Amino acid sequence: MATAVLNGRLYTVAGDEIWAEAALIENGVFTVVGTTAEVRDAAPADTECIDLQGRMAMPGLHDAHVHLLVSGLKFQHECRITPGVAAEQMVEELAGCGCTGPAVDGEREWLIGGEIFPHAFGEGELDRQVLDEAFPDRPVFLYDHTAHNGMANSRALELAGLDDDVEDPPGGRFIRRPGSRELTGELIEQARWPVMRAIPDYPREVYLEAMRWAVATCHEFGITSVQEAGASAQALRALRELEDAGELHLHVAAHLPWREEGFGMASTADLDRSIAHRAELASAHVDTRFIKIWLDGAPLPPHMTHADLLADGSVDQTNILVPPDQLLEKLRGFDAEGLSVKIHCTGRGSVRAALDAIEGARRDNGPDGPIHEIAHCTFIHDDDYQRLGHLNVVAEMSPALWHTEAFNLPGSYKFGTVLRSGATMTVGSDWINTPNPNLFPALQGMLQWGENSVELPTAIELMTSGGARVVGRSDRRGSVEVGKSADLIVLDRNILEVPTDEVGGTQVLRTLVEGRTVFEREPDLLR
């Protein structure tokens, strides 16, 4: 059945015809975009009509960085600890959370949760003995506030085969009690891998429920296409199951993790197998021609695992997770296969190292390879902005927390500088580090970022057609145009007319994906 969207203010993000009044949707695509009279004349007799009553509609949003399955697990199946609580309250909350974790040989269930804020603990309190007293037999693993580090009790360390004799792995560190080799249970970066690999998989029903909830949450906030920045095999299987059941109404560019056993939820060998068999993991709504590489950690205390530059401008290799020669080799290979690579970089040093590797791949393979991205782009050295555009590298800005004063990092997220350099930019929520994938507060923040602010039409384009272009789908979606996927959101206000301070409070009243209503805030309001 056809659907007609009438009597609205449709912001098309399409060339000179930036506004329209109505649109006709047939077989999931826009077939007429124009006036209400034009759409009524073209509409078949049994067309469903949605009267916008003058409200603003626009293309669905593109979130350039989400973690769908992990967010679904985090907010629906894991223990949530009140931010910033000390050890005693943390243990009380864990004991009372009632969450059911995956089981070890059908016996003791794992207790998984977070987040730990290390600064909330007194000296010597961030130690596994705090967890051991409350959970002597049950394995416990807790993420910290960066999601890059974790905390394990003695039972979890035992199941992972870790004891005090273990050496620090490349790209990771075991925190030890002062003056000894005794493990505290705190695991930094790749040191958390053995514990995470010891955690069994949840039942498939849990993964499916978590994914279904995550997709529905995206719809609630007007997100109709995403880049899944850690497309584990578990996530891909859940997406395929939703697809096969006709329930997946979200465009997913799936970035398959390379050599990141934590976020990848599998061994390095299994991750390599997923990449090799990526075509078998694709479906109508899931594109698997994308790779994710983690090059450093997070620029947050107390561990500060991001990679910066040395005084001479060279890359400080201390926190680099992939050696330069190996990064170049893998990137050259992925580039030659036509795979777009998203590289996690949160420091000036890792950004430079990523650009150096991309430059090497362009030199060896030619300049016309696929678009590559630098994820987060929290900090970029002034000398490297021009390289982004020159090398056809996208600056992906996330997590979308710059509007939150507690997370403001001085000199970070230079939106205006990126755009003035001629580079392409996308915006991602990095949902897992944010409570939800709502991009409207971030949109307002981009308009109020001092000399690095951007104009609202530009910001909207970055979150819609710009995102479609980066994932190679600008011919199919990202704007309200004839022949494109009918991905449309109806807003409770016209964000181009309200005061800037009111943009962040925007609510989505209705979300359509391929012409199908997948979210309604108040059913029948627009009928």
Whole-number Å distance between alpha carbons of 279 and 262: 23
Residue 142's pLDDT is 97
Pick the last residue of a domain from 141, 163, 198: 198
Instruction: Clarify whether residues 142 and 222 are in a common domain.
Output: no
Decide if 457 is inside a domain: yes
pLDDT in single tens digits along all 527 residues of the chain = 899 999 999 999 998 889 999 999 999 999 999 999 999 999 999 999 999 999 999 999 999 999 999 999 999 999 999 988 988 999 999 999 988 888 876 667 999 999 998 888 888 889 999 999 999 999 999 999 999 999 999 999 999 999 999 999 999 999 999 999 999 999 999 999 999 999 999 999 999 999 999 999 999 999 999 999 999 999 999 999 999 999 999 999 999 999 999 999 999 999 999 999 999 999 999 999 999 999 999 998 899 999 999 999 999 999 999 999 999 999 999 999 999 999 999 999 999 999 999 999 999 999 999 999 999 999 999 999 999 999 999 999 999 999 887 766 788 999 999 999 999 999 999 999 999 999 999 999 999 999 999 999 999 999 999 999 999 999 999 999 999 999 999 999 999 999 999 999 999 999 999 999 999 998 766 66
Residue 92's pLDDT is 94
Instruction: Clarify whether residues 279 and 419 are in a common domain.
Output: yes
Compute φ and ψ for 117, nearest 5 degrees: -110, 100
The answer to whether 61 and 440 have CB atoms below 8 angstroms apart is no
Alpha-carbon dihedral sign for residues 242, 245, 246, 247:
negative
What is the side-by-side strand order in the sheet with 9-11?
19-20, 9-11, 56-59, 488-491, 508-513, 516-520
Instruction: Clarify whether residues 162 and 294 are in a common domain.
Output: no
* Nearest Cα to Cα of residue 68 among 304, 234, 184, 182: 234
* Alpha-carbon torsion angle 380, 470, 31, 487, nearest 10: -60
Whole-number Å distance between alpha carbons of 510 and 504: 17
Structure confidence by residue, pLDDT tens digits, 389-439: 999 999 999 999 998 877 667 889 999 999 999 999 999 999 999 999 999
Give the strand pairing for 22-26 and 19-20: unpaired
The answer to whether 23 and 486 have CB atoms below 8 angstroms apart is yes
CATH number at residue 35: 2.30.40.10
Q: Is 304 left (phi over 0), alpha (psi -120 to 50) or beta?
A: left
Decide if 98 is inside a domain: no
Instruction: Clarify whether residues 218 and 183 are in a common domain.
Output: no
Alpha-carbon dihedral sign for residues 515, 518, 523, 525:
negative
Residues in the chain: 527
Structure confidence by residue, pLDDT tens digits, 329-382: 999 999 999 999 999 999 999 999 999 999 999 999 999 999 999 999 999 999
Instruction: Clarify whether residues 261 and 388 are in a common domain.
Output: yes
Question: Between the CA of residue 326 and those of 191, 275, 360, what are the distances in Å?
Answer: 20, 17, 12
Decide if 88 is inside a domain: no
Residue 112's pLDDT is 96
Residue 231: which domain range? Answer: 63-67+201-470
Residue type, 359: E
Both structure tokens of 253: 């560019």
Residue 255 DSSP SS3: strand
Instruction: Clarify whether residues 375 and 465 are in a common domain.
Output: yes
Residue 107's pLDDT is 66
Instruction: Clarify whether residues 194 and 234 are in a common domain.
Output: no
Task: Match 């994710």 to its residue by tokens.
Answer: 292
